[in-house]
Amino acid sequence: MRELGFRRVLFLVHRSQLARQTKKAYQNVFSKSVSMGLVGTGNAEYDKDYVFATVQTLNKDQNLKKYSPDSFDCIILDEAHHSSANTYQKIMHYFTPKLWLGMTATPDKRDDEIEGRNIYEIFHHQIAYEIRLQQAMEEDMLCAFHYFGISDISTLDEKQLAKAKIGDRDFNNLTSDERVQHIVEQANFYGYSGERVKGLIFCSRIDESEELSNKFNQVINPETGKRYKTLALNGTATEEERQHAFERLAMNEGDSEEEPLDYIFSVEILNEGVDIVEVNQVIMLRPTQSPIVFIQQLGRGLRKAEGKEFVVILDFIGNYKNNFMIPIALSGDRTYNADNIRKYVISGNNIIPGGSTVHFDEIAKQKIFASIDKIKGIRSIIKESYCSLKNRLGRVPYLFDFYENGEIDPLVIIKEYKTYQNFLEYMEKELYVGKVAEKEKIILEYLSKTILSGVRPYELEILRREIRTGNLNIGEFCKDFEEKYQFSIDEKSFYNAIDVLQGRFVGKDDEYKKYSDMDLIVLADGDNSLKKSACLSYEFRKRLRHSEFSKQVDDIISVGLKRYSDKYATVDGTPFVLYEKYSRRDVSFLMNCGKDLSSTMYGMKRIGEDVFIFVTYHKEKVSDEKTYVDGKPDYADAFEDNMIFRWDTQIGRGIESSYVKDVCNAKRKHLFVKKSDAETNFYYMGQFDIMEKKAAKKKDNKGKERDIVKIRTKMHHPVREDLLRYLQSDIYTEKE
C-alpha cells in the first residue's frame, strides 16, 4: 500500500474480530503515518485513511452511501472466496477503486461452475501471488510444526460419523472414557511450546465436541494438577461468545480474574477467519475430508508468537477411506499419484522443509497405506481438479496444464478415461466442439498408453522432430540427440522407437489389429542406415491439419518430455533410475523388446545380457487349506539389511536348471520390488551380484516336495533407508 502510494484503503472482512486484528497488524507497520478506524459492531470511523469494516455493516445502503464510488484507492477483501456472495457483490458493484485485492487460502469452491460464483473470474483470472505451505515454511513465514499421526482407538468410519443421528453404542465409542484418556495421554506426551497448553480440538460432530469438552473438564491435567478448562464452540455461538472464548484461550494465568481455557473444541467454525497466534497445539479427531480443510485446520497454529517456538499437531487417524489425503495435504502434491503418496508417508520428515517434522506411528502408517491401495472416487477428484484448473486459467486446460500447475497427474486421468479426448467429451458434453475422428482417437489412445509416461525420450523426440520439420535424417537426428541429452541413441534403439511409433508395441493380437495400421511414420531408403530418413505418412500429416487432434498430440509429447526430464533423465542414458517405479510393460519398452512381454514377465525374465527379478515383498495370506495362494508360493524373499537380499527361485527350478543358469550367467542382474499385490508397479532397487546359491526343497500346492534354489545376493548400492522400512513394515488389514 505504501509503495503504491495509496492514500485511502478499505479492508473488508466478514467478522469484527478480524477487523480489530488486522487494524492492529497495520498499526505495527504504519505507526501513526496514516489514520486508521473501524466500521461495524458499534464503531463508525468512516473518515479515516485506512478503514477496517465488516461486510455486514458496509453493505447496508445508509452506510455504503457515506462514501462516493471512488473514495478508496484500494479495496482489500479478506477471505475473498466469499466475494461471490450478494453482500460482497453489492459493495464491489458500488465502488470503483484503482485496485481490488482479494486474499484467500481457498479460492477453489464446489460451486465454482455456477455462473457468478467463480472467484478467479471475479478477479479476471489475475493471480498476483500464490504461496503454498512448503514455500511459506521455506521462507520462514510460519511457525515450525511437529506433526504426529497417531492411531485412533475409535472404530467409527466416515459413513457412521456423517449420520444426522448415531446410536448410543456408536456415540459411546466416539466419546468413551478410554478415548478421552488416550487423547489426554498423547497430548501430554507430545507436549507444546510455551508456559501452558493453548489448544484447538477439531471434532467430526457437534454432539461429539460438546460431550468430549464435558468429559475433559472432569479430567485432571497432569501438567497443572487441576481439571482441564475447555468449552465447545460451534455455529450457534454469538460473535461476543466466540471473541470471549478466544481471549480466554490466548491469556496466561493471572492476566484476568477468569480462568484461562486449555482447549476449544469445534467442528468447522475455526477453519477460517480465526487468528489466535498463541495456539501451540492442534488436535484433529476427525477424518480428513479434503487437503484444503486439513491445511486450514493445521494452519490455525502456524502463526508466530512470542515465546512459541513450534506448534504440535496431533492427528488421530481412524479407519477412514480418505486417509490418503493426509500425506497429500502435508506434501502439497495434488497429483493423486498413488506412488507419490506412498513416498511421502515413507519419507516422513522429508516432506516439509525447515525445522518442521512429520511422524506417523506404525499402525497409522498402515491405515494410510490401506487407504492408498483402495483410493475411491478418483473420477470425482479428477473432475474437481479439472474445474479448479479451468477456473484458474479461464480456459479449457490440457494435460500439460495439469502437470505444470501441480494438479492431478495426467497418467491418472488417462488410466480412467484412456484418452484426454474422452475426458473432455465427458466433462464438457455438448459444449465441447473439438471432436476428433474415431481413427484419431485410436492414435491418441496408443500414444497416451505408450509414450505419455516419459520413461524414455526416443519416441517423443522423433515424433516432435517429424511434426516440426516433416522429415528426419537419421544421422542428423542421432547427432542432435546426443548434443541435447549427453548420451547417444544406438541404431537398435532408434529402429525400435520407429517400430513403437508404428503401433507395434503391443502384447495381444486384438491390440495389434487395433493399432498396427495407424500409419504414422514411413522409412525411406538410403545408402546406409545413417543416411536413411523417416517422415510422417501422408495420412498422418493430413490428420494433423485438424487443430484439436494436433493440439492433443503435441500435448502428449510435451508432458512425456517434461516427465522424462523431471523423473527419468540420466547422464549416461542407462534405462532405469534407482528407486523410481516401473511396470513390467516399461521394462519391455526400455529393453527394446519390440512388444509388450508383461504376460511372460513373472518372477524372472532374461532379456539378452540382462536378467530381471520381480518380487512382491508381502504375499497374500494363505488359507488353512492351501500351502500358498493361487500359484503364488510364500517364497522367503527378503532383505537381511540394506545390502543383502535373499531370493528363492521359482518352485520346481533346481540348481542345474536353465532357469537358474539364466540368472547366474547374466551380465547385469536387476531387482524390482513392490510391497504388495495392491501396487501395480515395482521399485527399481538397482543391480546385484550373487554371493551364494544353495539347493533346497519346497512343497507345492499338492504337498509334494520340489526343487528350488535359495540365492543370497549383494546390491551394488545400499537400499535407501526409508524405502527399506516401508517394504519391511507389516501390511495393515482393516477389520471387517
Which CATH number is 622's domain given?
2.30.280
**Do residues 353 and 134 lie in contact, with contact meaning Cβ atoms separated by under 8 Å?**
yes
**Residue with the larger pLDDT of the pair 576 and 618:** 576
Task: Determine the length of the chain.
Answer: 736
Residue 484 pLDDT more than 60? yes
Asked if residue 299 belongs to a domain, the reply is yes
**Listed residues 352, 373, 394: the one ending a domain:** 373
The answer to whether residues 612 and 724 belong to one domain is: yes
Confirm if 616 and 681 have CB atoms less than 8 A apart: no
The three cell numbers locating residue 680: 501395480
In a domain, 678, yes or no: yes
* DSSP state at residue 565: I
**Could you tell me if residue 14 is inside a domain?**
yes
DSSP lists the bridge partners of residue 43 as 40
- How confident is the model at residue 629, as a pLDDT? 46
Residues 710, 713, 718, 719, CA torsion sign: negative
Given a cut of 50, whether residue 111 has pLDDT beyond it is yes
Residue 99's SS3 state is strand
Q: Within a 10 A sphere around the Cβ of 506, how many other Cβ atoms?
A: 19
Q: How far apart are the first and last CA of the chain?
A: 59
225 lies in the same domain as 334: yes
Q: 593 and 642: one domain?
A: yes
The range of the structural domain enclosing residue 506 comes to 436-568
Q: What pLDDT shows up at residue 734?
A: 43
Last residue of a domain, one of 319, 338, 373: 373
Same domain? For 93 and 239 the reply is no
**Residue 415 within a domain:** no
Q: For 443-471, what is each residue's pLDDT tens digit?
A: 999 999 999 999 999 999 999 999 998 88
Q: Are strands 9-13 and 50-54 parallel, antiparallel or unpaired?
A: parallel
Q: Are 293 and 271 in contact (CB under 8 A)?
A: yes
Write the DSSP assignment of 124-160 as a string of letters.
TT-------HHHHHHTT-S-EEEEEEEE-S----HHH
Kindly report the number of other CB atoms within 10 A of residue 265's CB atom: 26
Decide if 212 is inside a domain. yes
Give pLDDT tens digits for 69-90: 999 999 999 888 888 889 999 9
Following DSSP, what letter does each residue of 294-337 receive, concatenated?
HHHHHHTT-S-BTTB-EEEEEEEE-S-GGGGHHHHHHH---S--
Please list, in sequence order, all residues whose beta carbon lies within 8 angstroms of the beta carbon of residue 401, skipping any fewer than 6 positions away. Answer: 389, 393, 407
For residue 736, what pLDDT band results from cuts at 50, 70 and 90?
Answer: very low
pLDDT value at 114 more than 70? no
Q: Give the mean model confidence (pLDDT) for residues 549-560.
A: 97
pTM: 0.79
Q: What mean pLDDT do residues 654-666 have? A: 96
Cell of 11: 479492508
Partners of residue 52 on adjacent β-strands: 11, 38
- Are both 563 and 585 inside the same structural domain? no
Q: How far apart are CA 612 and CA 672, in angstroms?
A: 7
Q: Cell for 349?
A: 520428515
HEC secondary structure over 385-453 = HHHHHHHHHCCCCCHHHHHHCCCCCHHHHHHHHCCHHHHHHHHHHHHCCCCCCHHHHHHHHHHHHHCCC
pLDDT-based confidence at 733, cuts 50/70/90?
A: very low
Please report, to the nearest 10 degrees, the dihedral formed by the alpha carbons of residues 180, 182, 186, 192 taken in order: 10
In angstroms, rounded to a whole number, what is the distance separating the alpha carbons of residues 172 and 289?
23
Q: Where are the alpha helices (DSSP H) in 529-571?
A: 538-543, 547-563
Q: What is the pLDDT of residues 283-330, one digit of tens each?
A: 999 998 788 888 888 888 888 888 899 999 999 999 888 899 999 888
Residue 305: name the closest of 331, 281, 330 by CA: 281
The CATH number of whichever domain residue 37 belongs to comes to 3.40.50.300
| pLDDT attached to residue 531 | 62
**pLDDT band for position 355 (50/70/90)?**
confident
Element (H, E) at 611: strand 610-616
Report which residue type is found at 237: A
Which pLDDT band, with edges at 50, 70 and 90, does 193 fall under? very high
Dist. CA 315–CA 190, nearest whole Å: 12
Report whether pLDDT(633) > 70: no
CA torsion angle for 143, 327, 555, 503 (degrees, to 10)? 160
Q: What is the pLDDT of residue 449?
A: 95
Dist. CA 531–CA 278, nearest whole Å: 73
Inform me whether the pLDDT recorded for 551 exceeds 90.
yes
Joined together, the cell numbers standing for residue 65 give 452511501
Q: What is the pLDDT of the chain when averaged over all its residues?
A: 88
Domain membership of residue 136 (yes or no) is no
In a domain, 385, yes or no: no
Q: What is the rounded distance in angstroms from the CA atom of residue 690 to the CA atom of residue 716?
A: 11
Do 590 and 612 lie in one domain? The reply is: yes
Same domain, 297 and 443: no
| Shared-domain flag, residues 147 and 97 | no
Structure-model confidence comparison of residues 225 and 121, the more confident one: 225
Q: Give the Cα separation of 550 and 540 in Å (integer).
A: 10
Residues 589 and 553 in one domain: no
Do residues 274 and 341 both lie within one domain? yes
Residue 268: name the closest of 307, 303, 235 by CA.
235
Domains contained in the chain, number? 4
Distance from C-alpha of 729 to C-alpha of 736, rounded to nearest angstrom: 21
pLDDT band with cut points at 50, 70 and 90 for residue 261: very high
**What's the CA gap between 355 and 7, in Å, rounded?**
40
What are residue 197's phi and psi, to 5 degrees? Answer: -75, 135
Of 337, 353, 373, which marks where a domain is finished? Answer: 373
Give the pairing type, strands 310-317 and 357-360. unpaired
Q: 562 and 590 share a domain?
A: no
Return the CA Rg of the chain: 31
Say if residue 653's pLDDT is above 90.
yes
Residue 571 pLDDT > 80, yes or no? Answer: no
Estimate to the nearest angstrom the gap between the alpha carbon of 716 and the chain centroid: 32
**pLDDT over 90, % of the chain:** 57
CA–CA dist 356, 341 (Å, integer):
19
Are 231 and 264 in contact, with CB atoms under 8 Å apart?
yes
Is 3 within the bounds of a domain?
no
Kindly state the cell numbers that stand for 700: 507345492
DSSP β-bridge partners for residue 232: 265
Q: In this predicted structure, which of 45-49, 227-231, 244-248 has the lowest mean pLDDT?
A: 244-248
- Output the pLDDT for position 434: 81
- For the segment 514-535, what is each residue's pLDDT rounded down to a tens digit? 998 888 998 876 555 556 788 9
> Do 50 and 171 share a domain, yes or no?
no
